[in-house]
Structure 1
Amino acid sequence: MSFLKNLLTVFALSCLCFGSSLWAEERPNIVFVLVDDMGYSDLGCYGGEIQTPNIDRLAERGVRFSQMYNTAKCFPSRACLLTGIYAQQSGMDKKHGEMKNAVTLGEVLREAGYRTLASGKHHGTENLYDRGFDHYYGLRDGCCNFWNPGERRPGEPEPGRKRARHWCIDEQTFYPYTPEDPDFYATDAFTDRALEWLEEPETQQKPFFLYLAYTAPHYPLHAWPEDIAKYKGVYDEGYHVIQRRRYQRQVEMGLVDPETTPFTQEPKPGAWETLSRDERAKEAQRMEIYAAMLDRVDQNIGRLVDKLQAHGRLENTIIMFASDNGGCAEGTGAVVFSEDPNDAGTLASYDTVGENWAIVQNTPFRFYKNYSHEGGICTPFIVSWPDGIKEKGAMNDQVSHFIDIMPTLVEIGETTYPKSYYGEKIVPMQGVSLLPAFSGGKVARPEPLFWQWKQGGAVRLGDLKAVKWGPQWELYDLSKDRNETENLAASHAEELSGLVARWEQWMASFDPEE
């Protein structure tokens, strides 16, 4: 009897030491990594020259999707991802606010017994700690100074910024938030906090869901000097050379079919050649800093993977990776910043990459953030799950959308989606589970997909996509024309009319009071 008692004691201690339990082992842990304003071709595994070895390894151990969609804008995408319904249904389609008529992934998975953790950007007016997450640390707003999101610290210059930002640490909300650590950098800080939570006994004794939502590589262009140094000279040849190389790598890796996606999208001819030497140097420097920001994200994902490996939990952890919209061509709108070129990438600066680099980032697609064309809404999507994905390194061209994440995680978490929450009726899930696609199966999607942001709008049914920016609709057959160059609106007027009618019906279905 004493032998059996000792054996059980050793077993119990080993469960605590290695962060496992029978419950934690039965259902996978889930990590969703979301980056901000990253282009389709930026990652190494999607054709880019930026050094992303840790993300590339996730792709090698999992599946790369070529037709995953967001909403073209940060806060509607994040709302779709967190709720499984369209932003128009949760009241997050026009301005960031509260997510109405909905439950979050945190609320659903915590009810299912998961430990729920969120670190990074939310872009709403709610504290995610109040929306089902056991921990929340990060930026409640849209973007911020990476080095100091708050007020000027003694001995430092004024932080480049648009305005003060909200920051949350569990139940507390700070406005503004001024970190004491002079070495604070948002990308590192988000990861630091997530790794701390993985050490907690409560996290080690349950399956967990971690939503790790970086602000990088969204402007302002801020990066560590040693990361920027890696890319010195990489972009000196200009937009067209970099884009052509990215496209060629995409073709070589089988991500892009030159028959359906010919190389036609590029910055205006001569856009680089007409710049002065100083202007070219400035443009190259912008992209160097941008690359360094994404490089640092990759380094932090490596830290996360190493932690999971050390805890013996990596094999049974699903890691998903995506961007909330395409590369950004916007100006910054900053009201406080230094124009000294020596300050580029530092606390005092506040800069963005501009339109031409945004076009390059979204190779091979048209346009960029805000547009409902492919360059604005199509994101890299990687799913790595050693225990659950047998065909490692596969590519999948099935159409998917952020609204599909909720039904996918509901199925993976072996739980149900509620019809109401705390007595309030909620909108049913709008997407479909992607779980069959992880093993090479087909995903059944009976309804079209819809988009609407500002002047943009789109509807996709099968391979046909109607899209607009402004009043004029265009029509494309994406099976033959993935980068939307041959407008079929005139020759296929009936098909276009039918799709536009579906879109208008969808738009009319929302309660204007919501």
Structure 2
Amino acid sequence: MMKLHFLKKRLPLLGALLLGTTLAMAQKTQKPNIVLILVDDLGFSDIGPYGATELQTPNLDRLASEGLRLKEFYNNSICAPTRASLLTGQYQHKAGVGYFNNNLGLAAYQGFLNRESLTLAEVLKSGGYSTIMAGKWHVGDDKNQWPNQRGFDKFFGFIGGASNYYEIGKEDNPTAPLIKNNQPYYLQPGKYLTDEITNNALEFLDEQNNEKKPFFLYLAFNAPHWPLQALPADIDKYKGKYNMGWDSLRQLRYQAAIKKGLINPSQKISKHDDQVKPWNTLTYDEQQYWQLRQEVFAAMIDHVDQSIGRLNAKLKELGKDQNTLIIFISDNGAQGGNGLRLYTQRTTGPVGTAGSYETQNSNWSQTGNSPHRAYKDSPYEGGISAPFIAWYPKLIQPNTIKQGTAHLIDLAPTFYELAGVAYPQQYNGVKSNALAGKSLVSLLAGKTEQVQRGEPLFWERAGKQAVRDGKWKLILPAGTNPKYELYDLETDRGENNDLAAAHPDIVAKLKAAYRDWAAKNDVVDYNILRQQPVTAPSTDARPGRRNNN
């Protein structure tokens, strides 16, 4: 009787323990939600966690302080090729977007994602995920290439490469560039596109909450890509913040990045761009003109950060924040090197307003990419290296900084490993391209310092080439009769000292590796390719038009 009494008293306790163990096991095996945030034309030091201490980015600051930052994370230097690799885990040529979203008549240069390269949405959906996208697409213009046709359950955004932030379409215009689930969508007067992208993403998350499945959200902001347009209240925050000029700010951000542990103190800042006038040589009126441009640019970044704060609040409201991986990256470095573009001729109002088609230029972009060299659409570090922040409380230790040397192609295998989703060898009767990258899970978990890929990284865009192998980086830049350049990035990430003449053996080795990679990925010599009829990116800057970069 005493034994029976003893058991009766302890059965509730045993039951509670068993239930707790079962719940703990269920939580441990619960698939994570995944949020991938991509911004447009943001330079290495254009946010607070990477050196822009004059900018107000409290939400990104929080993700960085509670998560992980990489010193080296690489993209493909320009919009469409970056998005092709990001969405498929392939080098851009293998995915069909070797040049841009232009069809150049070859499979590797068709300008849209091929069916052999599966999107993140297609693969994660096959593994039981809801798939959501809001923002910029830019990897397929025709309707059968749109997000809803490439695995996304829900989509809001625009298909092309650039968009006005105000009054994108009117109800009497049947070709309005905004789309919501394959249907035209009209931005109401006074509404701001960054908000509308965020609003729709949050609406989709509310709807998805009823599905009782994990979700993947691809949040692709067009900010701070041109045209320079921002909300007046955001611009006001930055009045007078940039009167020191681009030369001083460039140095301040460099020093801030060193203090934050993102730059080795022995690393030198890249040499000053000779095409950028020293700030102290400008007239007072010129300084006022250029300050306003940077105030607007900062305001656009600020508003993205506000949107990330709204996203974080929504995840917490839904009780999903602790089981969500958030990744924040940029598609390339800050835009520069192109002076006063044709787009500015369409400007009908002051910088920052709905009538502005002004762009960011090399002067402030040199600051944005500090301490790196060059700009968007360049194989130098300023073109292909940008911020990387990852936040996931279940896996990532707070305030972690790693070397990384990671690439866009590594995100797909990372997501699939965390989600426990097998990458299909065949999809809809088509054999799938093998994934090109390596999972970052060990890196995120703090077990490794950088990606162990066992082979170099490669770049090619319109004839400009690069190879990264260990500390060495080989570059073939643009221009007439370009010469190969070699840099030791361990000591010279600013790419100031060309060592090609001193190490011909290294140059020969990396050139041979590039040739092998190019053959495997159907990369064509651009000097031959451009002899064919090539449609260059459009200079038509009307919002939502094709081929704007």
Q: TM-score, normalised by structure 1?
A: 0.89
Which whole-Å CA distance do the structure 1 matches of 2:68 and 2:289 have between them? 37
**What are structure 2's unaligned runs of at least 5 residues?**
1-25, 102-110, 530-549
1:277 paired with 2:296, answer: no
Contact 1:231 1:288 in 2 (8 A): yes
Deviation at 1:337, TM superposition (A): 2.5
1:83 paired with 2:102, answer: no
Deviation at 1:349, TM superposition (A): 1.1
Aligned amino acid, residue 210 of structure 1: L
Deviation at 1:295, TM superposition (A): 0.0
Q: 1:338 aligns with which of 347, 365, 370?
A: 347
Query: Which deviates more from structure 2 when the two are superposed, residues 214-223 or residues 469-478?
Result: 469-478
Pairwise CA RMSD of aligned residues?
2.2
Q: 1:102 aligns with which of 114, 117, 121?
A: 117
The SS at the match of 1:397 is: strand
Which whole-Å CA distance do the structure 2 matches of 1:33 and 1:503 have between them? 31
Deviation at 1:135, TM superposition (A): 0.3
* Residues 199-240 of structure 1: CA deviation (Å, up to 9, x unaligned): 115555111000000000001001000000000011111111
Deviation at 1:266, TM superposition (A): 3.1
Q: 2:137 aligns with which of 122, 125, 139?
A: 122
Q: 1:469 aligns with which of 477, 484, 500?
A: 477
Query: Which deviates more from structure 2 when the two are superposed, residues 421-430 or residues 269-278?
Result: 269-278
Which whole-Å CA distance do the structure 1 matches of 2:250 and 2:344 have between them? 32
Aligned amino acid, residue 130 of structure 1: Q
1:43 paired with 2:43, answer: no
| Alignment-derived partner of residue 134 in structure 1 | 153
Contact 1:367 1:374 in 2 (8 A): yes
Contact 1:123 1:142 in 2 (8 A): yes
Alignment of 1:70-469 (within 5 A): 70-96=75-101, 97-100=111-114, 101-124=116-139, 125=141, 126-150=145-169, 166-172=177-183, 174=184, 178-179=186-187, 181-201=188-208, 205-259=212-266, 261-268=267-274, 271-329=278-336, 330=338, 331-334=340-343, 337-338=346-347, 340=349, 343-389=350-396, 391-442=397-448, 443-469=451-477
Give the direction of change, closer, same or farther, for the CA distance of 1:230–1:316 in structure 2 (3 Å limit). same
Which whole-Å CA distance do the structure 1 matches of 2:210 and 2:28 have between them? 9
Query: Which deviates more from structure 2 when the two are superposed, residues 130-139 or residues 451-460?
Result: 451-460
Deviation at 1:258, TM superposition (A): 2.3
Which whole-Å CA distance do the structure 1 matches of 2:427 and 2:57 have between them? 40
* Residues 274-301 of structure 1: CA deviation (Å, up to 9, x unaligned): 2221111111100000000000000000
Contact 1:239 1:357 in 2 (8 A): yes
Query: Computing the radius of gyration over CA atoms, which structure comes out larger, 1 or 2?
Result: 2
The SS at the match of 1:399 is: strand
**What are structure 1's unaligned runs of at least 5 residues?**
1-21, 155-163
Contact 1:115 1:203 in 2 (8 A): no
Deviation at 1:91, TM superposition (A): 1.1
Aligned amino acid, residue 120 of structure 1: G
1:26 paired with 2:40, answer: no
Contact 2:130 2:208 in 1 (8 A): no
Contact 1:234 1:288 in 2 (8 A): yes
Deviation at 1:363, TM superposition (A): 0.4
Contact 2:87 2:412 in 1 (8 A): yes
Deviation at 1:267, TM superposition (A): 4.3
* Residues 375-409 of structure 1: CA deviation (Å, up to 9, x unaligned): 000010000001221x2101010210000000000
Contact 1:197 1:203 in 2 (8 A): no
The SS at the match of 2:342 is: coil
Give the direction of change, closer, same or farther, for the CA distance of 1:133–1:23 in structure 2 (3 Å limit). farther
Identity rate of aligned residues, in percent? 41
Deviation at 1:265, TM superposition (A): 3.2
| Alignment-derived partner of residue 158 in structure 1 | none
In the alignment of these two chains, the number of paired residues is 477
Deviation at 1:186, TM superposition (A): 1.2
